[in-house]
Each structure stands twice: as structure tokens, then as C-alpha cells.
């Protein structure tokens, strides 16, 4: 860092009182009312006094500026505030929820959405986002599956890199950059039975192989901050987990940015049962490496006591203050605290972003089924949009809607009407999302079925049914929705009308009966501001759907957790042998495997080639496959590269993802996808949990999804290093 910064921070540290230092280690929620800015549980005098140095949950350039002015112009030392918000999938313009965006399998797109979100949030004066959320999630009961990368650590790592670069831009000090925050470190996705905030207890191997890689990638990409998870890992809450924070994150990965606690997590060390009071909780968190206490007030009120009791030292406190001030410096806040939020974005910039969001949404939705090519619909056609999610703008936002107004997003009905003509698109909700049929809605929906050519049935979760504190023991369609849907299917069958289901959810719902009965199914997740337009683009055939599911879809709740990276076990399932690993009442395989997703093309993969037969640890091979579009519409195919190490000192997963790529082809056109594979990425954690490169053979498997029967295979020899 520049000498000027070091000198400035040294000077501040010399001048600061203990209370002012602890202010820099404190983050408090802020808001504004008609009478001016407010703080949660505090007065804005705390900013003037320098005892609150960081804020969250504030929107609006004017409100942000008011708060910043209090700190810069009315506090003794004028240290600027760091103001952050959960910019998870957009700020005012919402992109698809993270799980949906993962389905795009496109690192450039992942980066661009983060860049656009950063610009929009920074234009409101914000300097930090609590994103990306990098928790691998293999249990759809967990509501926070919606916020993350899905089931695979490789995907999580690629998303981590793209998002950190997108949010932070080339230079943190730029007026359009936000400090990113990789969260929730770590293994939060492994909460017992998918219940939010529950305990986590996994092996060190699973921790390192599955849950840590996205964080390693975030740190390697220069992420500015990291947030420990609320949860404990085998009895040690992450907020006090010195081994994983100071040990692994700081020393092993070399992370020297800011560690920011989750909301009230420092005080919750008391609930975990490892701290007797706020002072002990604060001491444990600081000792573990947590720099900023979000919302617990534990550092402000507890650390002075902990200092008196000798549990922490002034040097410990100074070290954290230095990190926070360094981040503020890097963000350019000392140079010009009003750099962000001083210029409003033009209407044109906003319109361009909306158009971009529309394309992203179309690339994120996953066409799960399309029997007899029901989609795209022929034109002209009359459509009956039916169901509680057909015209619900607020729900299109998904969880963490940030500063997006509820009426902002485009609904399915609005999108289809804009694309087709008002007269041809009729709508009837029929029932509420969770409620009863209010006033004959089902009867009206059934009437509508008779007056249409095709039915677009919009079902699923409300936006609030996934996200934080939204775990569901039964990740199914809510009871009345099923009854309603069955009634519509029955009528449609009699009338011989196709039913296209649009399924909204923050997780892979377990709905085999629905998939069975529908003619076509679009998994729409929550697609954000342009949801309805993007769905209309796909339904009318203007755009071919391109998303591939980043999570396996289970047939039954009893299969959870279900993911493609399982190990073979000693008794792999064999239908002819009772004593093998299977259920008596449900198949082992998913209803839809990871990577499944149809397009309007029809692709054939052939001629798998690996550029060399044998590699040593420092080599790289090119894995190439020919792709032909045998369908009659242009579309983009996604190709996945997996490996299987069949014989190793530690049992390896049946499939491990090592790459993916895309190719767009016209009807009848052929091309090739070439994916690099570095031999060092074929290392795995050996018996002692350190990476090893074991000579032998590895299967190279390439195909459209994680269904083993659809993968082309080749063999690669791993040779010991040449002497
Ligand atoms: C969530 C975090 C979030 C924080 C601030 C917490 O409840 O777990 O993901 O960043 O609130 O809003």
C-alpha cells in the first residue's frame, strides 16, 4: 500500500480514543425517515461521536450522503463511513437469483451482472456488498440454496472469481466499484437436515473438497472481505473459529482483508453456549480474527471490559482497526467520501441494463421438459395464463430484492401480452399461492381452458418461501396448488389442450407428478425485473432457453441429500442384488441430473478427443468434442467435462466437474468445444488431506449433463514426473 496511506492510518490510530477505535469495528443498520437519518437502536449522534463507523441497510443517494456527511464533517476525526448492503442479484434492476444465474454456466455473464449491480448500487453511494454468497448447497430443504451456486464446488469457485471481479472492478477506488464479501465462511450449506442456522458437522475432507474451494477462489481473486457463517462447525461457531479464520483463511490462504461478522453473530456466541456474556463473546470473536461486529454491539460494549480483564490486547484491536481503515482507503473513501452517489445514472443506462437483465433471465431459466415440441408455441395462438404466480410482480423478485420496488418486475401475463397482443393472452389466478380458492377462481380458470389454444400454468413458491430463515421440511408444491393443478390437467386432457408449466422456486422442488403430467416445464426460479419478458421470449421462440440446472432434482424428499459427486461405496446399486445400496421405494437417480436443460436445438456430441494420452503433473491437455445441431432451430449447447478417478488411495467421487463450455449452432451446423484440463487439477487430497498427484488412469467424461449414460468417455494416463 502507498506510504501516504500507511502514514495516514498510523496517524489516525495514534489520535483515536478506544471508543473511536471500536466505532471502526462496529457496523449498525441504518435507515431514514421523513425527519432524517436513523440508526437501529442508537442515535445518529453515535456517528458524530465516532462510535459507529460502518453502516448497513441504507438506500438512496441522499440518505447515504446525509449519513456520510455526519461522519466526515461532524465527527472529530472525520473518518468516512463504510456503507454496505446485500446487493445479492442486483440493486434496483434485479437479475435472476444466484441459483438461477448459476444455471447460465457462463462466467462472463456472471461477472457482468455483478458489474452492473455494482454500478447501480454505487450510484446510490454504497461502497460494499455482502456478496457473493458461496455456500455449496446439497439440501433443497435449506431456503438459502436460492442465494448460492448450487451443489458443486467447481461451479462455486468459478462464480466466486467472476463475482469478485465484477463487483470490485479493476480498481476498488473507482466510483463504480464495491468491496465484495465472500460469505458465509464456511459450510453453512451443510446445516443439519436443511434447517437454517442449525448445527454443522462434516468431515475435514468434505470441508476441504466441497465447501472451501469457492472461498479459496474468492481470496485468490482479491476479495476485500469475508463473512463467517452463523453456524458452528463440530461445536466451534464460525464467528469464533480461530483455526479456520486466522489459521486457514488468513495464514493458509493469505487473506488480509476485513472479516465482518454476520448479523448479531458475535452476541449469538452466548446462545451457542461458548460465551458467558457480551465481553467474552467479543473477545472470542476478535481473537478468532473477526474485525467488524455487525449489529451485536458486542465490540463497542464488550471489548472495553475484555481489555480490562486481559482477554484481548490493544494491539489486537489496533490490528483490526488498521484493516478496516485500509479497506476504506482502498475504496477511495478518504480521498473523496462522496465519489459514489454523486452522479445519478442516466435513463439510457438504466434502460440498457434492463435489456441486459432480460437476456440474462432467458439464459438462466431451465427447460426441464418439452414433449412433442410444445414449445415454442406456434403463432398466432391464444394462451390462457392460469395460476397464482401468473401476474405477481413482487414474487418475480425472489429473495434479497434489495432496492427493487415490488411493482417493478414484469409478470408472465404482462410479458406475454407485450410479446403477442393483449387480445390473445387471458389470465385467471384461480387460487392464491397458499390460500384457498377465493370466490370461484378455479371455476373461472376451468372456463378459460375451454377458450384457449394452450394453457400456461404458473405455480410454485412465493418469493418469501426461499432465502434466509425459509427452510421447508417439504420442498413440494403447497397443498392447494397441487389440487388446483390436477384439476386443470384433467380438464386440459379432456379438451386436448397442451399445458406448459412455469415453475417458480428458490430450490429444486420435488414435484415428479407435475413433471409427469405437464407437456412442457420451465424452471423459472426467480428471474428478477425482466422475468415476464424473458419467459415470453422463450415461450414465443424469440430466444432458445439455455439454462442447465446447477442442482440435481430429487424424486422424493427421502433422497436428500442428492448430488452427482457421490462416492461409489462398496456395494453400488444393482437391481439384481438385494444387498446393494438402494431404496425399496424409490430409485437412486435424480429426476433431473445436474446439468439437465433442454434447448430448441437438438444436439449430438461425438468424437471425443484428448490431446495427449499421458500427462505429468505440470501438463495441460485439450479435451475436444464435436457438436452438431440436428434440430431445426438455432440454439446454444452446454458441454460439461467430468473426470472419474477409478483407482486411488482415497475413494473418489463417481463424477467430478472440471470444466464446461458453450457453443451456439444454427440448424444442421457442426462445431467443436475445446476445454483445457490442467493435470494439476487432477490432484486430490490424499490420505493426509494434502494434494497428491497419483500416477494411474483417469476417465475423461464429456456430455450434456451428469447422467453417466449420456457421457462420452476417454482415458488419460497420469505419469510420474520425468526424472
Ligand atoms: C445474513 C447475511 C446478510 C446479513 C446482513 C444476515 O441475516 O445471514 O447473509 O449479509 O444478514 O443483511
Predicted confidence (pLDDT) per residue in 158-179, tens digit: 999 999 999 999 999 999 999 9
Atom of ligand 1 nearest to the CA of 57: 12
pLDDT surpassing 70 at residue 435? no
Atom of ligand 1 nearest to the CA of 147: 9
| Rg for the chain, CA atoms, rounded | 26
Indicate which residue's Cα is closest to atom 2 of ligand 1.
262
Atom of ligand 1 nearest to the CA of 184: 9
Residue located via cell numbers 401480452: 417
Euclidean distance between CA atoms 364 and 668, whole angstroms: 25
* 86 in contact with ligand 1, CB cutoff 6 A: yes
* 144 in contact with ligand 1, CB cutoff 6 A: no
Taking 3-state DSSP, the helix, strand and coil percentages for the chain, each rounded to the nearest 5, stand at 35, 20, 45
The confidence score (pLDDT) of residue 1 equals 76
**Which residues are catalytically annotated?**
262
Q: Which one of 229, 262, 403 would you pick to mutate in the ligand 1 pocket, going by the greatest count of ligand atoms within 8 A of its CB?
A: 262
| Mean pLDDT of the region 97-116 | 98
Q: How many CB atoms within 10 Å of residue 133?
A: 29
pLDDT surpassing 80 at residue 299? yes
* 183 in contact with ligand 1, CB cutoff 6 A: yes
The confidence score (pLDDT) of residue 209 equals 98
Indicate which residue's Cα is closest to atom 4 of ligand 1.
263
Q: Measured in angstroms, how far is the CA atom of residue 128 from the centroid of ligand 1?
A: 13
| Count of CA atoms in the C-beta half-sphere (13 A) of 376 | 24
Q: Measured in angstroms, how far is the CA atom of residue 263 from the centroid of ligand 1?
A: 6
Euclidean distance between CA atoms 81 and 334, whole angstroms: 10
Euclidean distance between CA atoms 82 and 24, whole angstroms: 9
DSSP result, 576-595: T-TTSS--SSS-SS-SB-TT
| Mean pLDDT of the region 97-119 | 98
Q: What is the mean pLDDT of the chain?
A: 96
Q: Which of 617, 646, 645, 649 is nearest to 720 (CA)?
A: 617
3-class DSSP assignment, residue 656: strand
Q: Measured in angstroms, how far is the CA atom of residue 183 from the centroid of ligand 1?
A: 9
Q: What is the pTM of this model?
A: 0.98
Atom of ligand 1 nearest to the CA of 181: 10
Torsion of CA 355, 357, 362, 365, to 10 degrees: -170
Q: Measured in angstroms, how far is the CA atom of residue 27 from the centroid of ligand 1?
A: 12
| Mean pLDDT of the region 103-124 | 98
Q: Strands 696-703 and 712-718, how do they pair? A: antiparallel
* H or E segment to which residue 674 belongs: strand 670-678
* 188 in contact with ligand 1, CB cutoff 6 A: no
| Count of CA atoms in the C-beta half-sphere (13 A) of 294 | 23
Q: Measured in angstroms, how far is the CA atom of residue 42 from the centroid of ligand 1?
A: 20
Instruction: Kindly state the DSSP code that residue 380 receives in the 8-state scheme.
Output: S
Residue 330 has φ and ψ, to the nearest 5°, of -60, -30
Euclidean distance between CA atoms 160 and 110, whole angstroms: 9
Q: Which one of 87, 228, 468 would you pick to mutate in the ligand 1 pocket, going by the greatest count of ligand atoms within 8 A of its CB?
A: 468
Q: Measured in angstroms, how far is the CA atom of residue 581 from the centroid of ligand 1?
A: 39
CB-based contact 438:432 (threshold 8 Å): yes
Indicate which residue's Cα is closest to atom 11 of ligand 1.
263
Q: Measured in angstroms, how far is the CA atom of residue 181 from the centroid of ligand 1?
A: 11
Euclidean distance between CA atoms 624 and 210, whole angstroms: 27
CB-based contact 97:89 (threshold 8 Å): yes
Q: Which one of 30, 86, 188, 466 would you pick to mutate in the ligand 1 pocket, going by the greatest count of ligand atoms within 8 A of its CB?
A: 86
Predicted confidence (pLDDT) per residue in 525-557, tens digit: 999 999 999 999 999 999 999 999 999 999 999
Indicate which residue's Cα is closest to atom 12 of ligand 1.
86
Euclidean distance between CA atoms 623 and 393, whole angstroms: 44
Q: How many CB atoms within 10 Å of residue 618?
A: 11
DSSP result, 500-534: EEEEE-SS----HHHHHH-SEEEE-----TTHHHH
* 263 in contact with ligand 1, CB cutoff 6 A: yes
Atom of ligand 1 nearest to the CA of 130: 10
pLDDT surpassing 80 at residue 313? yes
- Percent of the chain past pLDDT 90, that is, above it, reads 95
Atom of ligand 1 nearest to the CA of 295: 5
Indicate which residue's Cα is closest to atom 8 of ligand 1.
262
Euclidean distance between CA atoms 553 and 515, whole angstroms: 11
Indicate which residue's Cα is closest to atom 6 of ligand 1.
263
Predicted confidence (pLDDT) per residue in 228-287, tens digit: 999 999 999 999 999 999 999 999 999 999 999 999 999 999 999 999 999 999 999 999
Q: Measured in angstroms, how far is the CA atom of residue 467 from the centroid of ligand 1?
A: 11
pLDDT surpassing 90 at residue 483? yes
| Mean pLDDT of the region 467-492 | 95
Quick one: pLDDT band at residue 723, thresholds 50, 70, 90? low
* 130 in contact with ligand 1, CB cutoff 6 A: yes
* 468 in contact with ligand 1, CB cutoff 6 A: yes
Q: Measured in angstroms, how far is the CA atom of residue 39 from the centroid of ligand 1?
A: 17
Amino acid at each position: 500500500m502507498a506510504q501516504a496511506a500507511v502514514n495516514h492510518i498510523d496517524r489516525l490510530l495514534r489520535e483515536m480514543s478506544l471508543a473511536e477505535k471500536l466505532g471502526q469495528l462496529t457496523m449498525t443498520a441504518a435507515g431514514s425517515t421523513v425527519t432524517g437519518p436513523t440508526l437501529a437502536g442508537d442515535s445518529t449522534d453515535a456517528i458524530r461521536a465516532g462510535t459507529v463507523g460502518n453502516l448497513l441497510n441504507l438506500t438512496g443517494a441522499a440518505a447515504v450522503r446525509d449519513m456520510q456527511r455526519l461522519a466526515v464533517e461532524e465527527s472529530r476525526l472525520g473518518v468516512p463511513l463504510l456503507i454496505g448492503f446485500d446487493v445479492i442479484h442486483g440493486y434496483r434492476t434485479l437479475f435472476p437469483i444466484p441459483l438461477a444465474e448459476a444455471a447460465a454456466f457462463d462466467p462472463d455473464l456472471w461477472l457482468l451482472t455483478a458489474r452492473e449491480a455494482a454500478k447501480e448500487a454505487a450510484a446510490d453511494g454504497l461502497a460494499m456488498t455482502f456478496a457473493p454468497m458461496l455456500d455449496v448447497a446439497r439440501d433443497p430443504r435449506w431456503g438459502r440454496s436460492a442465494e448460492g451456486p448450487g451443489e458443486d464446488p467447481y461451479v462455486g469457485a468459478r462464480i466466486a472469481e467472476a463475482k469478485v471481479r465484477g463487483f470490485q472492478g479493476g480498481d476498488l477506488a473507482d466510483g463504480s466499484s464495491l468491496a465484495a464479501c465472500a460469505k458465509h465462511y464456511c459450510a453453512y450449506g451443510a446445516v443439519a437436515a436443511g434447517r437454517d442456522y442449525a448445527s454443522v458437522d462434516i468431515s475435514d475432507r468434505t470441508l476441504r473438497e466441497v465447501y472451501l474451494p469457492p472461498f479459496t477462489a474468492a481470496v485468490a481473486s482479491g476479495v476485500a472481505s469475508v463473512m463467517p457463517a452463523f453456524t458452528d462447525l463440530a461445536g466451534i461457531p464460525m464467528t469464533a473459529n480461530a483455526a479456520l479464520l486466522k489459521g486457514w483463511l488468513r495464514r493458509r490462504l493469505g487473506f488480509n482483508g476485513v472479516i465482518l461478522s454476520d448479523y448479531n453473530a458475535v452476541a449469538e456466541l452466548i446462545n451457542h453456549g461458548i460465551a458467558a456474556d457480551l465481553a467474552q463473546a467479543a473477545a472470542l470473536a476478535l481473537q478468532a480474527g473477526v474485525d467488524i461486529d455487525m449489529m451485536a454491539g458486542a465490540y463497542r460494549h464488550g471489548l472495553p471490559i475484555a481489555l480490562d480483564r486481559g482477554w484481548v490486547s490493544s494491539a489486537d484491536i489496533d490490528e483490526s482497526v488498521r484493516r478496516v481503515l485500509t479497506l476504506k482507503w482502498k475504496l477511495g473513501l478518504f480521498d473523496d467520501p462522496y465519489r459514489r452517489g454523486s452522479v445519478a445514472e442516466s435513463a439510457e443506462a438504466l434502460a440498457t441494463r434492463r435489456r441486459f437483465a432480460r437476456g440474462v433471465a432467458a439464459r438462466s431459466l431451465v427447460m426441464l421438459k418439452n414433449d412433442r415440441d410444445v414449445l415454442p408455441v406456434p403463432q398466432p395462438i391464444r394462451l390462457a395464463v392460469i395460476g397464482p404466480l401468473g401476474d405477481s410482480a413482487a414474487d418475480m423478485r425472489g429473495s434479497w430484492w434489495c432496492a427493487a420496488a415490488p411493482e417493478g418486475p414484469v409478470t408472465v401475463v404482462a410479458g406475454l401480452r407485450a410479446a403477442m397482443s393483449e387480445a390473445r393472452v387471458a389470465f385467471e389466478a384461480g387460487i392464491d399461492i397458499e390460500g384457498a380458492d377465493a370466490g370461484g377462481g378455479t371455476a373461472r380458470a376451468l372456463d378459460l381452458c375451454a377458450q384457449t389454444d394452450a394453457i400456461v400454468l404458473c405455480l410454485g413458491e412465493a418469493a418469501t418461501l426461499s432465502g434466509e430463515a425459509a427452510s421447508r421440511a417439504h420442498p413440494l408444491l403447497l397443498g392447494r396448488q397441487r389440487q388446483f393443478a390436477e384439476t386443470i390437467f384433467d380438464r386440459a386432457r379432456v379438451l386436448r389442450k397442451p399445458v406448459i408449466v412455469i415453475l417458480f422456486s428458490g430450490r429444486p422442488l420435488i414435484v415428479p407428478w407435475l413433471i409427469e403430467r405437464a407437456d412442457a416445464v420451465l424452471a423459472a426460479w426467480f428471474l428478477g425485473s425482466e422475468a415476464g419478458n424473458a419467459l415470453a421470449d422463450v415461450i414465443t421462440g424469440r430466444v432458445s432457453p439455455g439454462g442447465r440446472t446447477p442442482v440435481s432434482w430429487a424424486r422424493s424428499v427421502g433422497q436428500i441429500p442428492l448430488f452427482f459427486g457421490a462416492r461409489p461405496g462398496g456395494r453400488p446399486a444393482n437391481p439384481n442384488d438385494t444387498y446393494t445400496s438402494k431404496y425399496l421405494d424409490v430409485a437412486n437417480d435424480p429426476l433431473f441430473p445436474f446439468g439437465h436443460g433442454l434447448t430448441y436445438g437438438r444436439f449430438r456430441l461425438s468424437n471425443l478427443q484428448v490431446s495427449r494420452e499421458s500427462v505429468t503433473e505440470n501438463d495441460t491437455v485439450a479435451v475436444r468434442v464435436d457438436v452438431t445441431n440436428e434440430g431445426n432451430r438455432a440454439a446454444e449447447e452446454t458441454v460439461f467435462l467430468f473426470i472419474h478417478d477409478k483407482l486411488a488411495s482415497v475413494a473418489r467421487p463417481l463424477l467430478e466437474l472440471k470444466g464446461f463450455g458453450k457453443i451456439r449452432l444454427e440448424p444442421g451446423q457442426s462445431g467443436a468445444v475445446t476445454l483445457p484440463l490442467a493435470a494439476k487439477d487432477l490432484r486430490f487430497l490424499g490420505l493426509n488431506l494434502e494434494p497428491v498427484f497419483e500416477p494411474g488412469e483417469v476417465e475423461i467424461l464429456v456430455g450434456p449433463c451428469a447422467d453417466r449414460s449420456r457421457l462420452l468417455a476417454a482415458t488419460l494416463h497420469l505419469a510420474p514426473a520425468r526424472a
